[in-house]
Chains A and B, each alone.
Chain A
Amino acid sequence: MSARVPIAPGLWTDEAEPRLIGGRRADGEIVFPMPDGDAAARVEPALLSRQGTLWSWTTQGFEPKEPYSGPQPFQPFLIGYVELPGEVIVETRIVDAAPADLVIGMAMIFAVVPFDDARSIYAFRPERQP
């Protein structure tokens, strides 16, 4: 997996336990991703929590039209929002779960996973309770 490059630069940190990079606006509100261009003025990068709770989820069972550029043949995937407490609710892939496993409010943890043979993407997976 180390051979894969992030689907876009600046989305998450390059460290042993990577974190999403959001932006903190002047009014204190956190957004994701970090804006670029003029919209980045007065927004400071903010590293986001690796742990959160499931806010909502759905399945993507049909292949999206372009600009979707995922692997062929199409593999259905899960998508959702994860609330990072006190920070922001981020839209994300959900991995290592089936629809029947997912309950709104369950604990989730950050992961970087393959998107295709060349690129990686950020995701959250259910946090297994010991």
Chain B
Amino acid sequence: MNDDVHIIGAGIHPFGRTDGRSGRDQGVFAVRAALEDAGIEWGDVEYAYGGSAAAGSADIMVNELGLTSVPFINVANGCATGGSALAAARNAVAAGACDIALAVGFDKHPRGAFNAKPAEYGLPDWYGETGMMLTTQFFALKIQRYMALHGISRRTLGLVAEKAFRNGTLCDHAWRRSPVDLDTILNAPVVNDPLTKYMFCSPAEGAVALILASAKKVRELGADAVRIASIAFRTRPEGSFEVFAPSIRVGGGGKPTEIASRAAFEMAGIGPEDVSVAQLQDTESGAEIMHMAENGFCADGEQEQWLAEGWSEIKGRMPINTDGGCLACGEPIGASGLRQVYENMVQLRGRGGERQVPNGPKVGYSHVYGAPGLSAVAILER
């Protein structure tokens, strides 16, 4: 095993809504951008992994990209599709199977909340018929209890969303590019109490592609590379509280995010205090708050002070969701986790422009969470 694996190219198709362009074509767009960024040709890619949740298989992209006989493995892993593609691509390079690999994720969802089918999640029909099977309810139920236990205010939920939209105005791949003020966020219609419509992200469209390379290839190409210090992907442990749970264990249990985070830090040989910039899953405002603690960046309840003092702002002590996160970018499931890694690439290479984190950030942390209870963490080092 040679675990010295780098990202040498990153490409994105702007998130949001792009009528007339399929999800997969957005993926092709992102791959071409990543190849150009890496300074290589499609024919140089030796292994490819990719997929979407709702926009079809990735391997058909070879029709547009070129019939080079590249082994192209479709990944269909729900909310972890992008993260799984990245982990697989890294492992292929680390194992010595190739020197250059592609990870690509894309998606294109209908408007409105996701509607999950009970049988696909091993649940009885009545669970869906009675209106209990909504991801938005889960996030509201989780943050409602968290707020009561740890003294988080509604205002703090609003501050998270306000920050996201403010950062989105500075980001060319974001969907929501206009600021929204705190009063508007707090007084908007409630989706699921305590969360208003501005506190939730929306299903969207978009694509991200990353080119991975061995250390040998980085030297050969003289690439502007960022090293992957670690990737950890974990599913839920016993007793965890996740989406689509008709019952949960008294007293609770572990959390997939805590487990993935600890594993990623251990593998990288660093701790939360070493991170310069973080992209955390913010399906809604409360998720960012809870994930700050679950990833080890603060203790439960300290988020109240973090948001009040602006510590997670771009110029704060530990910037979080510098591109506006899911709240400003929307959530194309297959691409969302890779967007976080893309944004860390931008920041660590110092290409953030108006949203650049100051003082040359060295360590970028990304965390994606999704149904039915999984988390993937990637740590990049410059």
**By the criterion CB–CB under 8 Å, are B129 and A7 in contact?**
yes
B132 at the interface (CB under 8 A from A): yes
**By the criterion CB–CB under 8 Å, are B130 and A59 in contact?**
no
Q: Given A57-B144, A58-B144, answer yes or no on A64-B247 (Cβ-Cβ < 8 Å).
A: no
Q: How far is the CA of A62 from the CA of B112 in the complex (A)?
A: 11
Who on chain A is nearest to B142 by CB?
A: A56
Q: How far is the CA of A69 from the CA of B118 in the complex (A)?
A: 13
Residues of B113-158 contacting chain A, CB below 8 A: 113, 115, 117-118, 122, 124-126, 128-134, 137, 140-142, 144-145, 148-149
Q: How far is the CA of A36 from the CA of B126 in the complex (A)?
A: 14
Who on chain A is nearest to B134 by CB?
A: A64
A61 at the interface (CB under 8 A from B): yes
- Specify which of A11, A61, A65 is in contact with B192 (CB 8 Å cutoff): A61
Q: How far is the CB of B151 from chain A (nearest CB, A)?
A: 13
**By the criterion CB–CB under 8 Å, are B126 and A11 in contact?**
yes
B250 at the interface (CB under 8 A from A): yes
B248 at the interface (CB under 8 A from A): yes
Who on chain A is nearest to B117 by CB?
A: A67
Q: Which residues of B contact A31 (CB under 8 A)?
A: 247
Q: Which residues of A contact B246 (CB under 8 A)?
A: 32-33, 90-91
Q: Given A33-B124, A56-B141, A61-B190, answer yes or no on A91-B249 (Cβ-Cβ < 8 Å).
A: no
**By the criterion CB–CB under 8 Å, are B124 and A80 in contact?**
no
B191 at the interface (CB under 8 A from A): yes
Q: Which residues of A contact B60 (CB under 8 A)?
A: none
Q: Which residues of A contact B112 (CB under 8 A)?
A: 65
Who on chain A is nearest to B244 by CB?
A: A91
B193 at the interface (CB under 8 A from A): yes
Q: Of residues A8, A60, A77, A121, which shows the largest number of chain B Cβ atoms within 10 Å of its Cβ?
A: A60
B65 at the interface (CB under 8 A from A): no
Q: Which residues of A contact B222 (CB under 8 A)?
A: none
**By the criterion CB–CB under 8 Å, are A58 and B193 in contact?**
yes
Q: Given A22-B247, A91-B247, answer yes or no on A68-B131 (Cβ-Cβ < 8 Å).
A: yes
**By the criterion CB–CB under 8 Å, are B129 and A88 in contact?**
no
**By the criterion CB–CB under 8 Å, are B137 and A58 in contact?**
yes
B245 at the interface (CB under 8 A from A): yes
**By the criterion CB–CB under 8 Å, are B247 and A90 in contact?**
yes
Residues of A49-82 contacting chain B, CB below 8 A: 55-62, 64-70, 77, 79-81
A40 at the interface (CB under 8 A from B): no
B189 at the interface (CB under 8 A from A): yes
**By the criterion CB–CB under 8 Å, are A61 and B247 in contact?**
no
Contact size range, B: 35 or more
Q: How far is the CB of A10 from chain B (nearest CB, A)?
A: 9
Q: How far is the CA of A89 from the CA of B250 in the complex (A)?
A: 6
**By the criterion CB–CB under 8 Å, are A64 and B144 in contact?**
no
Q: Given A59-B192, A67-B117, A104-B145, answer yes or no on A77-B131 (Cβ-Cβ < 8 Å).
A: yes
Q: How far is the CB of B135 from chain A (nearest CB, A)?
A: 11
Q: How far is the CA of A55 from the CA of B250 in the complex (A)?
A: 10
**By the criterion CB–CB under 8 Å, are B124 and A60 in contact?**
no
**By the criterion CB–CB under 8 Å, are B248 and A64 in contact?**
no
**By the criterion CB–CB under 8 Å, are A87 and B118 in contact?**
no
Q: Given A56-B142, A58-B140, A68-B129, answer yes or no on A104-B148 (Cβ-Cβ < 8 Å).
A: yes
**By the criterion CB–CB under 8 Å, are B113 and A65 in contact?**
yes
**By the criterion CB–CB under 8 Å, are A85 and B142 in contact?**
no
**By the criterion CB–CB under 8 Å, are A56 and B145 in contact?**
yes
Q: How far is the CB of A47 from chain B (nearest CB, A)?
A: 14
Q: Which residues of B contact A36 (CB under 8 A)?
A: 124
Q: How far is the CB of A12 from chain B (nearest CB, A)?
A: 12
Who on chain B is nearest to A37 by CB?
A: B122
Q: How far is the CB of B149 from chain A (nearest CB, A)?
A: 8
- Specify which of B118, B192, B245, B248 is in contact with A60 (CB 8 Å cutoff): B192
Q: How far is the CA of A22 from the CA of B247 in the complex (A)?
A: 9
**By the criterion CB–CB under 8 Å, are B126 and A29 in contact?**
no
Q: Which residues of B contact A7 (CB under 8 A)?
A: 126, 129-130
Q: Of residues B140, B191, B192, B250, which shows the largest number of chain A Cβ atoms within 10 Å of its Cβ?
A: B250
Q: Of residues A58, A86, A93, which shows the largest number of chain B Cβ atoms within 10 Å of its Cβ?
A: A58
Who on chain B is nearest to A69 by CB?
A: B129
**By the criterion CB–CB under 8 Å, are A81 and B193 in contact?**
no
Q: How far is the CB of B234 from chain A (nearest CB, A)?
A: 21
Q: How far is the CA of A31 from the CA of B176 in the complex (A)?
A: 42
**By the criterion CB–CB under 8 Å, are B144 and A61 in contact?**
no
Q: How far is the CB of B113 from chain A (nearest CB, A)?
A: 7
Q: Given A58-B137, A58-B141, answer yes or no on A8-B124 (Cβ-Cβ < 8 Å).
A: yes
| 5 A–B contacts from the bound complex (CB under 8 Å) | A33-B247, A56-B141, A56-B148, A68-B128, A85-B250
> Which A-B residue pairs are the 6 nearest by beta carbons?
A65-B115, A67-B128, A58-B140, A56-B145, A32-B247, A8-B126
